[in-house]
């Protein structure tokens, strides 16, 4: 057993690959907008909320690191 031998049935030309890729992008964008419209706010608002949450997570991690540094070096905060 040296591996799979697909023959002609397994080969897909580049046009078919591009068509499938573009169709997948279209479907994902369409479904994202459908989900966003069901939540009574636009998709841009959902992206803004996600960005804000990401910034909040980063700020929390940095605050914890600063607290650990202050505690480990016994430095008074400014």
Percent of the chain scored above 90 by pLDDT? Answer: 23
Q: What is the pLDDT of residues 32-52, one digit of tens each?
A: 777 766 655 666 777 788 889
**Residue 22 pLDDT class (50, 70, 90 cuts):** very high
pLDDT-derived band at 5, boundaries 50, 70, 90: low
Name the band, by pLDDT with cuts 50, 70 and 90, for residue 23. Answer: very high
pLDDT at res. 24: 94
CA-to-CA dists, residue 42 to 22, 25, 26, 56, angstroms:
23, 19, 18, 21
- Those residues whose C-beta lies under 8 Å from the C-beta of residue 39, and which sit 6 or more positions away, are 46
Q: What residues does each domain of the chain span?
A: 14-73
């Amino acid at each position: 057993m040296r591996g799979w031998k697909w023959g002609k049935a397994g080969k897909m030309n580049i046009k078919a690959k591009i068509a499938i890729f573009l169709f997948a992008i279209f479907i994902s964008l369409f479904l994202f907008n459908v989900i966003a419209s069901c939540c009574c706010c636009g998709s841009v608002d959902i992206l803004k909320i996600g960005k804000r949450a990401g910034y909040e997570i980063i700020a929390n991690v940095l605050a914890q690191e600063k607290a650990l540094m202050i505690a480990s070096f016994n430095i008074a905060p400014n």
